[in-house]
Amino acid sequence: MNPEIQMPNAVQKALIYCRVSSKKQTEDGSGLHSQEYRCRQYAEAKQYYVEEVFPDKVSGGGDFMKRPGMVALLDYLDANPDENYVVIFDDLKRYARDTEFHLTLRRLMKARNARRECLNFNFDDSPEGKFNETIFAATGTLEREQIGRQTRQKSQARIEQGYWTFRAPVGYRYAKSANGGKELVKDEPLASTVKTALEGYATGQFATLSEIQQFLETDPRYPKDTPKGKIRPQTVVRLLSKVVYAGYVEAPKWGISRREGKHEGIISLETFEAIQMHRTETKRLPNRKDISQDFPLRGGVCCSSCDYPLTAGWSSGKCKKYPYYVCQKQGCDEHGKSIPRDKLEGEFAALLKKLHPSENLFHLVKAMFTDAWNAQVNDLALIAQSFKQDALKAETEIKKSIERIMETTNPRVIQAIENRIDELENQKLLALEKASKSGEPIRTFGEMFEHSMAFLSNPHKIWVSGQFEMKRIVLKLVFPERLSYSRSEGLRTPKTTLPFSMLGGLSMSDCEMVPLG
């Protein structure tokens, strides 16, 4: 209310309520400003004094209590019980589009001595007037439900054709389709961020949901859930469970099974299935909520006396704080005895320096990799054919299952067969995708060998890069189990993963001829 405008004496006070249910309505002729303008014109013609305006930008699904503006209007009436306001609406549809809520709101207004007036409808408390108002409200309810049904039917038809109809997931945006309507297209660079997160979880680069959460929070491009730049755990769960990222669509609540989408997938269906399997597995190195980037070995090193994982933290001294690792296992001889971070991580870095092949061994490994690569390329055609046969078998079983449905009338049996058909359809899609990607290598031998040996030849270089995520990757890929550390002896001889075991176990200087018999 403008304080400079003085209300004349004995003038009827009025409140304006206006509402839009979509962004489009906000911008077109039925927007909030247009509604308010027409209501003010009406009030001026009636010589009403407009005391407050209550706008709403939500639909509320017919329930006026889900609209902040309407709730505020009712609260305002309650705060001024001695005033007899006139509540002005631009259109009766802005009032309530559900018969039950309409009648309830009418009673609430009357109980608060508020008189309702509408620009295109005359409210009348006579029996005939109440009847007409009820018919008007029922008509609005019918129109709203018909629009909802049409929208749902159109969405179902689009999904059955392979088009995603819900809100575009992060990494996608909607664009005009050559076949009419809209379809999903990749939204870079967010699509690359999503791809890294999903494939990283499928391959073990991110061992837990918390690690994905941290990765997405450090990416300034990824939309955050809170003003503080945090992402909720449930957001990560939804990210991992969306098959739309694999290029497929489905709508179980509408009975629409999984099918190939018209959009390009960010990941493969095989990767998506690997993600679902990974979510059910026990993780080797859990990423605790209180893990700090200051301690990359936390959770990856255990006490040699009790085999309990070392924790880490900062100790306050007289002038500054000191980082340290420590065993917190009750009853352990090393309980509470700190290990300086620089000492432990220095020994770990020295250990990594020893893990690299000699030059001669490097050439030997390259020759071995070349032979293995060529053998794998020769097998790709057979593998692709095998996947095609699996798809054909699944299709045959689907046809048989459909025939069984036609022969039975038991609802439970029909439901079980339908569930089996959905499972077979998913197996067929997965087999066809694998067959299409098994014809030839994704990258050349040179690219694959270069990336592999860059890591195998010098993991220490990656460790000292300073990136927390890369340090955690080195820890997981080099050592399959937690390292054991003794305060007196240092790091115990660790068990390395297979590639490093082979490279470390072979030495050209140890080779000699077998003696003659």
In a domain, 157, yes or no: no
Q: How far is CA 200 from CA 223, 293, 377, in A?
A: 19, 19, 25
Q: With pLDDT > 70 as the criterion, what percentage of the chain qualifies?
A: 73
Cα pseudo-dihedral 460, 465, 467, 470, rounded to 10 = -40
In a domain, 288, yes or no: no
User: For the residues 334-352, what does the mean pLDDT come to?
Assistant: 87
Q: Which residues of 410-447 are buried (b: 16+ CB within 10 A; e: fewer)?
A: eeeeeeebeeebbebbbbbbbbbbbbebbeeeeeeeee
Label residue 49 by pLDDT band (50, 70, 90): very high
Domain match, 32 and 133 both: yes
Label residue 22 by pLDDT band (50, 70, 90): low
Q: What is the CATH number of the domain that holds 176?
A: 3.90.1750.20
Highest mean pLDDT among 153-157, 194-198, 295-299: 194-198
Number of domains in the chain: 3
Q: Under DSSP, is residue 248 helix (H, G, I), strand (E, B) or coil?
A: strand
Domain match, 76 and 128 both: yes
Domain match, 137 and 184 both: no
Q: What is the DSSP letter of 340?
A: E
- Supply the pLDDT for residue 14: 92
In degrees and rounded to multiples of 5, residue 130 shows phi and psi of -65, -35
Domain match, 138 and 177 both: no
- Could you report the per-residue pLDDT of 352-385, keeping only the tens digit for each? 877 766 555 566 666 766 766 666 666 666 667 7
Highest mean pLDDT among 331-340, 397-406, 455-464, 508-517: 331-340
User: For the residues 499-510, what does the mean pLDDT come to?
Assistant: 49
Label residue 15 by pLDDT band (50, 70, 90): very high
- Could you report the per-residue pLDDT of 409-457, keeping only the tens digit for each? 777 778 888 788 888 887 788 777 777 766 565 556 666 666 666 666 6
Amino acid of residue 391: A
Domain match, 199 and 135 both: no
Q: What is the CATH number of the domain that holds 22?
A: 3.40.50.1390
Q: With pLDDT > 90 as the criterion, what percentage of the chain qualifies?
A: 8
Give yes or no for residue 26 having a pLDDT over 60: no
- Supply the pLDDT for residue 514: 44
Residue-number span of the structural domain to which 74 is assigned: 13-145
Name which residue leads in pLDDT, 514 or 271: 271
Domain match, 237 and 275 both: yes
Domain match, 30 and 84 both: yes
3-state SS record for 160-177? HCCCCCCCCCCCEEEEEC
Give yes or no for residue 517 having a pLDDT over 70: no
In a domain, 207, yes or no: yes
In a domain, 399, yes or no: yes
Residue by residue, DSSP assigns 53-110 as EEEE---GGG-GGG-HHHHHHHHHHHH-TT---EEEES-HHHH-SSHHHHHHHHHHHH
- Supply the pLDDT for residue 97: 60
Determine the Cα–Cα distance for residues 173 and 170; give it in Å rounded to an integer: 8
In a domain, 160, yes or no: no
- Supply the pLDDT for residue 513: 43
Domain match, 140 and 20 both: yes
Name which residue leads in pLDDT, 459 or 489: 489
Domain match, 91 and 55 both: yes
CA 258 to chain centroid = 19
Name which residue leads in pLDDT, 294 or 473: 294
- Supply the pLDDT for residue 5: 47
Domain match, 215 and 125 both: no
Determine the Cα–Cα distance for residues 166 and 39; give it in Å rounded to an integer: 35
Q: Which residues of 360-397 are buried (b: 16+ CB within 10 A; e: fewer)?
A: ebeeebeeeeeeeeeeeeeeeeeebeebbebbeebbeb
Give yes or no for residue 61 having a pLDDT over 60: no
Determine the Cα–Cα distance for residues 375 and 228; give it in Å rounded to an integer: 52
CA nearest 210: which of 289, 296, 299? 289
Name which residue leads in pLDDT, 287 or 243: 243
The pair of structure tokens assigned to 467 is: 């990136």
User: For the residues 267-283, what does the mean pLDDT come to?
Assistant: 80
In a domain, 381, yes or no: yes
Name which residue leads in pLDDT, 37 or 465: 37
- Supply the pLDDT for residue 245: 93
User: For the residues 104-115, what does the mean pLDDT come to?
Assistant: 85
In a domain, 517, yes or no: no
- Could you report the per-residue pLDDT of 133-164, keeping only the tens digit for each? 677 666 666 776 776 677 777 888 888 888 88
Average pLDDT of every residue of the chain: 77
In a domain, 44, yes or no: yes
Label residue 48 by pLDDT band (50, 70, 90): very high
- pTM for this entry: 0.48
Give yes or no for residue 298 having a pLDDT over 70: yes
Name which residue leads in pLDDT, 316 or 97: 316
